[in-house]
Structures are given as structure tokens and as C-alpha cells.
Structure 1
């Protein structure tokens, strides 16, 4: 009977572990496909402007941003005819080129790049490039193997504890044994994280088993706490730009959508500020990309020192930063943008000395869209560059549209 009980328990735990392994596999596969779709869609949008301008630096920076996903091992973009490679990035030298077709089991996704929206409609129908992203399931397989080993270890540990409990339980009363049996099943179930330690009974045999059970429980709860913390850290990494430490484009999109929804519901205004470092390309050309990266880090730090508590700051792409200013109308946003501009101009950078930035401001309008706000702020930024840099320009309210001297942007890339 005891052997039958152990066999039944082991079978139950094994089935539970197998189900959990299957569920983990499904979750990892869904996350892989979701990441694959997000990276492909993101590149389709973010590569349009730099591909049209053939700005290799921004193309490479955009492709490098995809490597924040562990599923991505490499990416490249090349001309529509397939001969010229504009930019290519790899996670390491051991990974195959994303532009080279190999016999690997990795997954390749291709994205056709079309001109940006402001280009003539007939020209937008013709592709200007093609991006290939190489994805790998290695991380997913490692996670599955690790989960399988952990499940086997847990089942084996629980079996050992069961044998000990049954050995000592033959000489004990039924009540404490039933109590321990119930606790063990709860430990093997999804309620293990809410299980309290068992109290000692004052009996040497049972107390030793209870102590072992409590050690296993503490170990399990500590492991679960570590997993929670690691998940929190992973979530923070998924929202953060790896270079500057501010929020990344993905999180900015989420905040923008949330702010627009809130504004439509409550009618509260919010504004956005696009900040672009002046003559940043010359910094890279003169000092190298490492110094350019240091400049971006210092720019981000300067913005964080000046920003208000309610502002959200992130890197929009390349040397562009975006600030989302909650509960801020156009006038206040322009004044705040001037404060930002002054702060950048007054700062002495570690290698390059003094630098400046140009800023474009836009405020939410009735029936507005995220694309519309970004487009207006981008046009204002373009005017700031066109009128001499180190300026703040803003997109007028609809009633002031006659004041808007900007037209369509034939070339949205500037320095």
C-alpha cells in the first residue's frame, strides 16, 4: 500500500511537471512569435526614413536596437535588387550573417521597406530596401531544458521527503501524518508560494521531518522570490534604452497611446518635445562612435536633471530624444523646451565641449493621432534645424495654422 501510494504520488507529480513543461513551451513559443512580429513591424516603420535618406548610421543603430531581444541574433538591410548591403549587425562573430542563406535551423523574417509617408504616393508603392532578421530559438530551448531539470529535481526531492515521512509516520498517530500529507500536496501544487511553515510537534522523529519540509519550503519560496525579481528586472530592461538608460521607443509608444486615450476621455492636454543633438554626425566623424555614444549618455543625463516629475523621457532613435509632458499645454511646453535647450547649451561635455540641441514641440489637438502629433513635432524640429539650430520651434494650434511656415519634409534626416 505504501509503495502504491508513492507510485501514485510520483505519477501525479510527474504529470503535473509534464503539464507545466508543456505550458512553458506554449508560452515561450507565443512570446517568440510575438517578439518576431513586433521586431518585424517595428523595423518596417523605423527603417523607412533612414533607408530613404540612405543614412547608414541610423540604419545600423536601428538594426542594433533589435539585438536587445535575446531571440534576435542578427539583422541586415539591403537594396531591393539584393546586391548592395546597406547595414548589417550580429550579436557575435559566431552567428551567421543575416544576409546569408545557410542551412541553420534559425528562423529568418524578411521585411520590405517602402518610402516614408511624406513621399509621393506613386513612389511609396516601390520598395527601397529589404530587411532580414535572424531569430533563434536557442534561448527558448535552454529555458525548456532548465525547466525540465528543475521539474525532475522537484519531483525527486518531494519523493525523498515522502519516503521519510512515511517511514516515521508508521510509528506516529494518523493526525500528524495526515497534516504532513496535506502540506506536501499543497507544496506540489500552485499554492506552494502561500504555504506557511509547519510548527514543531515536540517529537524528535516528526520534528526532524518538519524541519526538512520547512527548509524545502523556504528554498522554494526563495526561488520564487528570485524569479519574481528577475522578471521585474527583465521588464525594466524591455522598457529601457541600453545605451542611455532612458526609456526606449517601445515604451514611449505605450505611454503615448495611454496619454492620448486619457486626453480623449478627460480632455486634459499633453505635449511632446522632440530634441535632436545638433551636428551629431560631425562628432562621430571627428571623435568616433564611442565618443558619440558618450555624448548621447550625457545628453540623456542632462534631460533627466531638468525634466519634471510628470514627464516621460526616452530615446526616440539615433540622436533624437522624446519627452512626453503630461498635463502641459503648448505654451508651457514651449517654455519648458527653452529650459531644456538652455541646459544643453550651458553644459560642457567631457570630450566635445559645448554642444547645442534643436527642439520641436507639439500639443495634442481634438481628434488627434499619435502619428499626427509626431509629424507636427518633427516638422517643427525640421524648421528649428533649417533656421539655424539651437532653437525651439512649435507646431501651431489649428486656429494658428496660418503661422505654420513649414511644408512637407523632403528629407527628414538632419544633423
Structure 2
């Protein structure tokens, strides 16, 4: 295992190389955005780097909602929610309760949501098991938990056998065992092994799940539940964090809880819930408008449009023999190259040809699994998907080709 200093040096070296190549820390040059393309170095490029999967960020209803909220409530409501909240907060939490099928606490961001929820939910007599690839914002809570006496361990990514052994071992000395994982993983696009986790919940009463499903909500499931809540909504030992960015096209996060009592505890005791600033009125208005769309029949149409693009991309990539990290039905496609330097060369060539993608390298992915991360949205035309795959086919060397592995799909 690398030391913190070694990890820092490696991260800086890889980011510096990507920065010099013009692949990270860029600014879009567009005067207006269309969701489909982005202007870089004076040229329009197809944009395969957006997580606005449903394309709602440019919807006229959300824009109007932002303007109306500003006119009614001002540009900001400068008060901690511990004292006083803007009028749209209870409206939003009620709507999100209908969307997600639970008791919802809205937080200013997903990261602050984790910091609000986990130190309150998890006790000093509990044990926490992190999936090795759970999002960094979840892993960042580990020091808080360790400081309060919680036992903290990691298991290999989505390794159910190793997880069950950990539950059985830790359960002998701890009141509860929490497993922290993503519903849809942000870099490789694979889904958590949800049916197997459901079976573990049935076998082990001490097991509790805390799932960050930020990349799953919206585009997947009834009302945009996401894959985790489609299976486990209302389960008394499951808590889900859902981003209100990405598919929702707003700001903040929803912590979906199984009871009103837990929601009240988090709001009273969670540090960021007391001390952090709120989501401001314009984006509260946007979130309310987005939630209303999620509760309407229109959502299924948007989901079907996106799914058509996902399935086309996956089929074309497999036909081309591109080394997909997995073939799960999710809008994130990761083409695994291997060495960071080789992945960077491919990303540079794609950008030169007019296709903007994300270079996936350490620390976002293991150093040996660097690659090209692409994200698909409803803004893309079917012809854009074909152009992306043709460009990848030209520039991913034959030596890196391998058969993809299917690991799951949206319920």
C-alpha cells in the first residue's frame, strides 16, 4: 500500500501531465451552451463529459423556475436551516419523498450530506466496511468515524464473499455492521451487486447499507428512484444518498431515510446541517421543478431516449472490440487502456479530432486501469454516438482490446 506522501506525488505527476496536455482544468469557451457540444481552443467538440444525463439543465421550465424563485425570494436566503429555512425547502423535501419513497433530508451537497449523515447514523460500537471503489466523498468520512471509535475496514470492490466474511467476523464484536458503497460507480459505470446485497440483508440482521446512488437516480427507475431504491425503498436498514445535480440538474443532495425519526436526528445532530449554508432560492426552485418532472409521465420518455443511446453505444463498442470495463446499462462507458500514459495519448487524439472525453486516471481509478470515460446524455444524437465509437476504434490500439464483461443493469 502506498504511503500518503507517495500517493500525493503520484497524483500530482499524473494531473500535471494531463494539465500540460490540455485534458483537465479547462474552461468552456461558449457564450451559450447546447448540452451536445463544448467549445475548446476555438473549436466545437462533441461533449462526452457531462453528467446531465437527462438534459434537464437546459429545460425552459427549470430556467423559469430559477428566475421566479429569485423574484420571490431573492438571490440568497442567508440563514442556517438550524434557525430558519427558505419557504421552498419543505416543498422540495415533500416532493422528493414522493420521488424516492422515503423520508428525505436535503443537504447543500452530496459531500456535506455524507458528513451530515454518517457520523450520526454510525455509532462508536458499530463497524463500517467501505467498498474499495466507493466514491471519495464517502471515504472522506472515515477519519470522523475512526475518531469516534468506529471500526473501519475496506473490502475488494463488489466482492460479496469477502463482504459476508467481514460481516460475520465483525458482527461478533459490534452492534451493527455498515456497508458503504455506490449504487452506480462514477468511473466504470458498473452497478452494485444489489440482488446479492438484498440477500445479505435478509441473512444478517446486523447489516445496514449506506448507498451513494448519485449517478443512478433520475435516469433509472420509477420516478427516477435509481437502482438501489427500486429494490430497497423503505427498507429499515438502508439509507441512500442521491445527488440533485447530474440527472436532476439542480443543486444539493437528498439523504433518503427509512423513518421520520432518523431524519429529525440528522437535522438536529448532523454538523453540516447545523453550520453549513443552505441551497439558495434559485436552485431550490430548479430542484422543485425537476422533482415535478420526475413525478410526471414525461420522465419515462426521457429515460427511454437515454437508454436507446446507451444501448447503441454499448453495442457499437462491443462490435468494435473496444475494452469496455463493463457492459452494465448505465450512461457511463469506460474504455480501459491500462497505463496512464497510453490512456492520455488516446484522450489527446480524441480531443484533436473533435471529441471531448474524460481521461480516467489515478486517483479516480487504479493506476493500472486508466482509460477513457465517456458519459451519454439525451442531448446526443445517435450519429454522435457512432462518431464517438469510430474515433475510439481508430485510436485505441489493438493490443488493448479485450472482451467486455457484463456486471448488471438497471431494474
Same fold, TM-score > 0.5, yes or no: no
Larger radius of gyration: 1
More helix by share: 1
What's the TM-score once normalised by structure 2's chain length?
A: 0.25
